[in-house]
Amino acid sequence: MKKLLLLLVACIACSAQAAVYQWQDDRGKTQYGDTPPPGVTAEPVDLPPISTVPGQPAAGAAPAAAEATAGDATTDQPYTRIAISSPGNGQTIRTDTGRVDITVNLQPALQEAAGHRLVAVVDGVRIQGSAAGVAILAPRGSHRAQVVVLDSAGKALARSGQIAFDVRPDKRLPVSRELKAITRVQPAN
């Protein structure tokens, strides 16, 4: 059975390349075939080229031409690295103003042209940042922070690991009025 199928496929492949002839049979009907019967006058038939349609790309695959012509500003490249550079995990920050600058190692760079934005989540409070990082005011005590890259719809594209840091007064005593006045995490001006 397999040999018959193989032979049939080979014949079809060969006949696709073969010439086609036209002739009249005994009843006057026009017949077509790749080999006319013996003793019959047959004429070759000119056939138009075979029509072909290119296949569709696999689901989820982007056409190569679209990838080559797309501009970097509109292309969403996946973030390969997102980490909080400063403060370090477990670090104690000595400050009389409560200001803490959270710097981020983000690769590739923040794609602001695509509507991406950087947000810090510190003790459950979301604070908008810039490509360089996020500046916050934090009260004395222990805090937890994580940074997140959001797209224009607010969907999280990448998240850093969570870190812990402590805020302590720069001077032992007295605690500055500025630091005393900070009661919760908030954006720095």
Q: Which residues 6+ apart lie within 8 Å of 111 measured at CB?
A: 73, 76, 77
Report pLDDT for 67. 43
Computed over every residue of the chain, the mean pLDDT equals 79
Is residue 91 located within the same domain as residue 159? yes
Question: How many domains does the chain fold into?
Answer: 2
| Distance (Å) of CA 157 to CA 115, 160, 181 | 12, 11, 35
Report pLDDT for 38. 87
Report pLDDT for 40. 86
pLDDT in tens, 74-84: 456 889 999 99
Longest distance between any two alpha carbons in the chain, whole Å: 120
Is residue 95 located within the same domain as residue 144? yes
Structure tokens at 12: 């079809």
Report pLDDT for 7. 55
Alpha-carbon torsion angle 96, 185, 165, 156, nearest 10: -140
Provide the pLDDT confidence category of residue 30 given band limits of 50, 70 and 90: confident
Report pLDDT for 96. 85
Which residues form the domain of 125?
A: 81-187
Strand locations in 2-153, DSSP E?
20-24, 30-33, 43-45, 81-86, 91-94, 99-107, 117-122, 125-128, 133-137, 141-150
Question: Is there a domain that residue 71 lies in?
Answer: no
Q: Which residues 6+ apart lie within 8 Å of 34 measured at CB?
A: 15, 18, 19, 20, 21
Is residue 43 located within the same domain as residue 98? no
Is residue 93 located within the same domain as residue 158? yes
CATH number, residue 103: 2.60.40.10
Provide the pLDDT confidence category of residue 61 given band limits of 50, 70 and 90: low
pLDDT > 90? residue 36: no
